[in-house]
Amino acid sequence: MSDNNFYITTPIYYVNDVPHIGHAYTSLVCDVIARFMKINGKEVKYLTGTDEHGQKVEKSALNNNLSPEEFTDKMSISFKNLLKALNIANSDFIRTTEERHKMGVKAFWEKLQENGDIYISNYSGWYSIRDEAFYNKSELTPEGLAPTGAPVEWVEEPSYFFALSKWQDRLLEFYEKNPDFIKPKSRRNEVVSFVKNGLTDLSISRTSFKWGIPVAGNPEHVIYVWLDALTNYISALGYPNETNDYKTFWPADVHVVGKDILRFHAVYWPAFLMSAGIPTPKSIFAHGWWTNEGQKISKSVGNVIDPFKLIDDFGLDQVRYFLVREVIFGNDGNYVRENLIQRNNSELSNKIGNLMQRTCSFIFKNCQERIPNVTKEFVDKMYQSEFFIKLQDMIKDSIIQMENYNINAVLDNIINVTEQSNIYIDHEAPWTLKNSAPQKMNEVLYRIVETLRYIAILMQPFTPDSAAKMLDQLNVPKNNRNLMHLNQEFAIISSNKINQPYPIFPRLETEY
Ligand code: MSP
């Protein structure tokens, strides 16, 4: 795999219920990273999809008086609709009920079996349908619940096992050799100590229900939904066939997951892959959880946040910006309606929108709707000024930050440059220069417009529609909107026409 390819995945979402803010968040951060990598010239594959097998989904189908097939067909559409509503630029969407996936899972199972890591025995222990996870007695709370708070039930049935315990030492060695495998760093210790505490073999088939992929040769058993689901990351690339996609994109650069499902991705998945002789992904990034006004989000409390409603109420880019800006990627986030409004008004409207609107309106009225005329010498000098040297450094820094998934640091950079430019325009007051020093006025405006080109290009991953409007307003050609165009060679051209300005980041009223 060449360095120019980038493969990013979301978890595949359970279709037992409609999408909520957690699903929206995971898809959105992956979209921001994927779009950034694209404007940085990478060939990007962004995979998402739905996890449709297992007891939880089967139960929901029954509760809805639908067959699991009808139910999953219907529910997966709502997840596809969410992607559309959020303007997610995924390159594929996999459903675990698709043939291509089932074929991948069967082949993967066979590989584990061939390598001597699967055996049949009996499972007896605790199982949580909500988490689709097995728990030891020692993990349960004093009230007898799963550590996640989910109810558990006693299960005793014949089961195939994966010899996970055999992989304990190799996993520990792997974490040691790949200190960046689990991100952020704080999550790494959690996983390492879980593995150090001892791994028991993992039950990987169930016999008490039918909704899953049957085990070849013993169809009484369906494959454990997590073994089924994790395989999506390779089945979507064509595994077991050595397709171009597979060769180009595996191993994945990053699987982005919520902190609750880190164990499945950072312990079970690499162990399965090692057993199958397939390279492990380069990293797993665990993000935090959203609460609603400080409270854990749950259906029973009735405080689930509907992402479609958020978008209707506040606007797409406003919601995208808030969700990514409000929390440091990796930390927990708290949804507070007032904070969404505040973020939008103080940063998108008052900083970026204001700089754009006042500069473009002034140019439109006072410079014959054209980018102000400056000399080549001026542009040379401007590009050697401290401000522009710092601007170039800021781009380099933003690339490094994004490569380390410090998404917020990139937004800090953008806001910082915008603030400086707002101070600059106030200080230079081009509106006072029109008669007394028209050339100076042109130069001040030109510097701001060129900075706005930087801001708009960098904002594309975060607020794609609004950034496109900014670039359209400035008439920046569509094929000149990548990071490689952020230099003097592609500087905005004097006397080019700009388009009629209009507010791109309107303020949100508090009485929403
Ligand atoms: N189907 C499994 C994943 C299989 S991946 C091979 C699953 N699905 S899920 O629909 O329950 O969760 C999907 C993602 O949403 C997880 O990463 C989870 O952490 C995330 N979130 C669910 N609720 C959340 C919040 N309240 N806040 C942030 N993310 C949350 O797990």
Q: 299 falls in which pLDDT band (50, 70, 90)?
A: confident
What is the mean pLDDT of the segment spanning 48-71? 97
Find out whether the beta carbon of 290 lies less than 6 Å from any atom of ligand 1: yes
Percent of residues, the chain, with pLDDT higher than 90 = 96
What distance in Å separates the CA atoms of residue 54 and residue 67, rounded to the nearest whole number?
13
Hey, what are 413's tokens? Answer: 């950079």
Encode pLDDT of 27-40 as tens digits: 999 999 999 999 99
Work out the average pLDDT over 317-330: 97
Ligand 1 within 6 A of 22 CB?
yes
DSSP states of 10-42: PPPEE-SS---HHHHHHHHHHHHHHHHHHHTT-
What pLDDT does 435 receive? 93
Q: Is residue 51 within 6 Å of ligand 1 at its C-beta?
A: yes
Ligand 1 centroid to residue 398 C-alpha, Å: 28
**Ligand 1, atom 6: closest residue by C-alpha:** 230
Protein residue with its CA nearest to atom 13 in ligand 1: 13
Q: How confident is the model at residue 509 (pLDDT cuts 50, 70, 90)?
A: confident
Instruction: Give the position, in ligand 1's atom list, of the atom nearest the Cα of 269.
Output: 6
Residue 2 has pLDDT above 80, yes or no: no
Distance 333 CA to ligand 1 centre (A): 14
* Ligand 1 contact via 229 beta carbon (within 6 Å): yes
Instruction: Report how far ligand 1's centroid is from the alpha carbon of 213 (Å).
Output: 22
The Å distance, Cα 210 to ligand 1 centre, comes to 24
Residues whose CB falls within 8 Å of the CB of residue 224, separated by 6 or more in sequence, listed in order: 202, 203, 204, 205, 206, 212
Q: Which one of 260, 284, 290, 305 would you pick to mutate in the ligand 1 pocket, going by the greatest count of ligand atoms within 8 A of its CB?
A: 260
Q: DSSP secondary-structure letter at 411?
A: H
pLDDT of residue 510: 73
Quick one: pLDDT at residue 298?
A: 85
pLDDT at position 251: 98
Ligand 1 centroid – CA 433 distance (Å): 56
Report pLDDT digits (tens) over 260-281.
999 999 999 999 999 999 999 9
Task: Label residue 511 by pLDDT band (50, 70, 90).
Answer: low
User: Running DSSP on this structure, what letter comes out for residue 193?
Assistant: H
Among residues of the chain, what percentage have pLDDT more than 70?
99
- 140 dihedral zone (left: phi>0; alpha: psi -120 to 50; beta): beta
Atom of ligand 1 nearest to the CA of 290: 27
Residue 276: predicted pLDDT: 98
Query: Is the peptide bond prior to 184 cis by the omega test (within 30 degrees of 0)?
Result: yes
Closest residue CA from atom 21 of ligand 1: 22
Residue with the nearest Cα to atom 29 of ligand 1?
A: 22
